[in-house]
Structure 1
Amino acid sequence: MAAEREKDIAQQVLSEVGGTMAREAGIGLADRPAPLWQLLVLVNLVSTRISADIAVAAARELNEAGGTTPQGMAELTWQQRVDALGRGHYVRYDESTATRLGECAEFARERYGGDLRRLAEEAEGKRTALTKALQEFTGVGPTGADIFCREVQEVWPWLRPYVDKLARKGADRVGLPASRDKLAALVDGDDLAAFCGGLVRVARQRELAEKVTAQAA
């Protein structure tokens, strides 16, 4: 009975609040250079002390402005990046972030030839190697690396199951096990990134957790 209820709760998380930030930002995530770069930009934006909604909006504006690849981001002027961030209401850290994104674009081109699939290749199946490499990008710390891995497991199956601390907090809030393997067993592998995204949302919003558990009752 307990296992059945956990399955029900997991499905409620997926159906009610599941989904990735990449999808919210209009990023069609795939194992290709452009969307992987766009995910890294989104992670960089959300790593600052600013709401996820604003970070998503700012990522959309940067993509609209032409920053969809490291080359495109590098070709934007600093002021164009500031303006795009402003249109997304990312105003508190707009100037420093515009500088940071330019630095990340240059690093991505110089270190990885603009192709972030090489992150996975060089990690050789080792999570710690991947998270360490991600933190070489200006502005990406341990939390940002976790977010990238949580999202990119949608297209990098070798990372699964990647359940970060905030997702485990959400799991606890709705009465699900904290073990990443047990959580992964509750949904299909291809849904795991969206499931973890939903767990993050319930971790941040208690009312969502209450809604999910009530509907699964």
Structure 2
Amino acid sequence: MAGRDERAVVRALVEAHGRTYAEEAGIVLKDTPQPLYRLLVLAHLLSARIKGSIAVATARALHEAGLRDPRRMADADWQERVDALGRGGYRRYDERTATQLGEGAALLTERWGGDLRRLRAEADGDVAELRRLLQEFPGVGPAGADIFLREVQRVWPEAAPYLDAKALQGAERLKLPKDPDRLLSLAGRTEPAVLAAALVRAAIGKDVAEDSLNRAGSR
């Protein structure tokens, strides 16, 4: 595929599908404790084998239930967390996830004072260490850490550019180069977080990839 065509595919993908999952969940991402915590919860939910739309709806349901910071999450009883997860449609993993969210909120409060910026400071600019520390939260494995870092790179510059294996799977499906530097070059001024989200959507949705290729071909 010629370079010009590759650029058209990336442009079509980003224009039609370049929405971060935080945006979809109604999280206005800032480098402040509450949005960062809500992003961590969203990453946890998205990392399970469940539809992304359900994870996003559940993140919204937890917020509407008032479980939007680690103190409130930890103080809520287990059944309250289960009920909120259920309202979002997150029923397959609700009991285990309710426990993990409570334990994770307690860990964040006890170790980092409820503020993920302190976890960031502990990593001291080392993205691999950031990824490792994120996995100390119950239920946040490698996939969850990658999701968090893909999105948080908007406000934590040291994490950018972050195009993980899942994003590169999307590039492969679109027959784009799997080299992160080349993809970023093709994307021009597009934010890495937006590019990453769009590529992930192509990786998990064949229809997204086909739509983007069709849009690029019709230009």
TM over 0.5: yes
For 2:150, give the aligned amino acid: R
For 2:179, give the aligned amino acid: S
Q: Is the 8 A contact 1:160 1:189 kept in 2?
A: no
Give the distance between the partners of 2:190 and 2:70, measured in 1 at CA. 27
What residue is the counterpart of 1:147 in the other structure?
A: 147
TM-score, L = length of structure 1 = 0.95
Q: Is the 8 A contact 1:86 1:94 kept in 2?
A: yes
What residue is the counterpart of 2:116 in the other structure?
A: 116
Report the alpha carbon displacement of residue 5 of structure 1 after superposing the two structures with TM: 2.1
1:4 maps to 2:4: yes
For 1:143, give the aligned amino acid: A
Q: Is the 8 A contact 1:61 1:87 kept in 2?
A: yes
Aligned residues: 217
Using the aligned pairs only, state the percent identity.
Answer: 51
Report the alpha carbon displacement of residue 189 of structure 1 after superposing the two structures with TM: 5.9
TM-score, L = length of structure 2 = 0.94
What residue is the counterpart of 1:172 in the other structure?
A: 172
What residue is the counterpart of 1:81 in the other structure?
A: 81
Give the distance between the partners of 2:41 and 2:206, measured in 1 at CA. 28
Distance 1:108 1:15, change over 3 A: same
1:181 maps to 2:181: yes
Q: Deviations over 1:50-70 (max 9, x none)?
A: 111111111101011111111
Give the distance between the partners of 1:176 and 1:81, measured in 2 at CA. 42
Q: Deviations over 1:11-62 (max 9, x none)?
A: 1111111111111111111111100100111111122221111111111010
Structure-to-structure mapping, 1:7-156, within 5 angstroms: 7-156=7-156
Distance 1:33 1:133, change over 3 A: same
Distance 1:158 1:109, change over 3 A: same
Give the distance between the partners of 1:207 and 1:139, measured in 2 at CA. 29
Distance 1:10 1:210, change over 3 A: same
What residue is the counterpart of 1:209 in the other structure?
A: 209
For 2:138, give the aligned amino acid: T
Give the distance between the partners of 1:177 and 1:72, measured in 2 at CA. 44
Give the distance between the partners of 2:126 and 2:21, measured in 1 at CA. 24
For 2:136, give the aligned amino acid: E
Report the alpha carbon displacement of residue 76 of structure 1 after superposing the two structures with TM: 1.7
Distance 1:59 1:105, change over 3 A: same
Give the distance between the partners of 1:190 and 1:216, measured in 2 at CA. 17
Structure-to-structure mapping, 1:189-204, within 5 angstroms: 191-204=191-204
Report the alpha carbon displacement of residue 179 of structure 1 after superposing the two structures with TM: 0.9
Give the distance between the partners of 2:131 and 2:161, measured in 1 at CA. 15
Give the distance between the partners of 2:129 and 2:111, measured in 1 at CA. 15
Give the distance between the partners of 1:118 and 1:8, measured in 2 at CA. 41
Secondary structure in structure 2 of the residue aligned to 1:185? helix
Q: Is the 8 A contact 2:127 2:158 kept in 1?
A: no
Between 146-155 and 188-197, report the one with greater CA deviation: 188-197
